[in-house]
Amino acid sequence: MDHTLTRKIFADTAYVHTGGSPEELKAAEYIRDVCATFGVTATIEEFDVQMATIQEEVLTVDGVEIPCKGYLNAGTHEVEAPLHYIAGKDKYIMEGCRGSIVLFDGYLGHWRYRELLDYRAAGFISYDGQMNYADREIDRRELRASVSEGVAKIPGVNINVKDAVALMKANGKTAKITLKQEEYVGKSHNVVLDLPGESDEVIVFTAHYDTTSLSQGAYDNMSGSVGLLALVEHFTTHPHKRTLRFVWCGSEERGLLGSKAYCAAHEEELSKIKLCVNLDMIGPTMGHFAACCTCEDNAVSYISYLGRELGILIDPYQEVYSSDSTSFADKGVPAISFAHLAPPATATIHNSYDTVDIIDMDTLDKDLRLITAFAERMDQSVFFLIRRDIPENIKEKLEIYLCRKQAK
């Protein structure tokens, strides 16, 4: 794709567009309109998502107010309790959670939340940011529906790491969380485009276009969305045998909601899909190019050889990738995610530093050269090159990733 157009797309979408927001719909309409300039018609499919509007969010520790952002969809509460920090999962450490507001490291995942409920925590505090950064940014997080489904809601807030460290150094004793919000069902959106082929066999290409609350999302993941647009442009001027479907997924950052919604709405069509090719974070200046194969391990060797043929270094491996490809793999569709993974010192995601400055146009071109070659070979093969089944070891990993089973 022409660099002038590529830079324009990055510039025109350089704003926060979180899942379910009006800004996300604006970005979806923009992608649809870019497709129209290639002479093809994309449609926008809406789906339900849980939304919330925060009315009050206050955290005090020993009477001192700490800047915070309340967890969306965590209900309305006012609780005061002892502050307790947990740095592990030992049951004796967890016993201290009872009746406490718990400060913990990392993200609030499914099993972490269940532990907090099991040990009767009164509320929770997470943190993010970097101690050595000048900013004091705080991400807006949510109690995901997949985490809270069927269980009670307790209040939570997110704070900056600098304040979390200060609380520990001050030996904070008593915390109070006030959280008030209106919860409702809103709409998020997928953008879908079909390029019909001679065969009804389908290759689906996916990339998410939504962002987190602090991020413009140039690297994560307008880069992948641009990659899909480049593939659309290519295949509108090059013959293809199979039907090629492109899905720009909304609300990926909220738990792969767009791809899950697409698979649910199109379940009867999934049997025709031979492969999902997902692009999530490509084209940074630094880092290594990788392909995560959620399918038979022969795909790993194939991609490695393709990279050698083209003179493009790539690191393929068999695993479950934390992106929209997983929703398709869970439905039995082999999936491969391409990602150019930058070192944290050169590119970060989910914060305000994720801008177009991370992207290098020559690297993006090189990544897309391999991805396009791979797509062409998948399309033109007489017999489809990747077996349409999910290996047993990958099925086990999908169960764990999707929190239907806890890792030992």
CB 210 within 8 A of CB 113: no
pTM of the model: 0.96
Given the candidates 1.10.10.10, 1.10.260.40, 3.90.700.10, 3.50.30.30, the CATH classification of the domain at 63-172 is 3.50.30.30
Q: What is the pLDDT of residues 36-72, one digit of tens each?
A: 999 999 999 999 999 999 999 999 999 999 999 999 9
Flag whether pLDDT at 404 surpasses 80.
yes
41 versus 96: the higher-pLDDT residue is 41
Give the residue-averaged pLDDT of 66-91. 92
CA 50/CA 56 separation, integer angstroms: 19
Check pLDDT > 70 for residue 91.
no
| Contact (Cβ atoms closer than 8 angstroms) between residue 223 and residue 364 | yes
Please report which confidence band the pLDDT of residue 87 belongs to, taking 50, 70 and 90 as the band edges. confident
* Tokens, residue 102: 């718990």
CA 46 to chain centre: 18
Provide the pLDDT confidence category of residue 92 given band limits of 50, 70 and 90.
low
pLDDT interval class at 364 (50, 70, 90): very high
Domains of the chain, by residue range, sit at 3-50+187-401, 63-172
**Domain 3-50+187-401 classification at class level:** alpha beta
In whole angstroms, give the CA distance from residue 269 to residue 336.
19
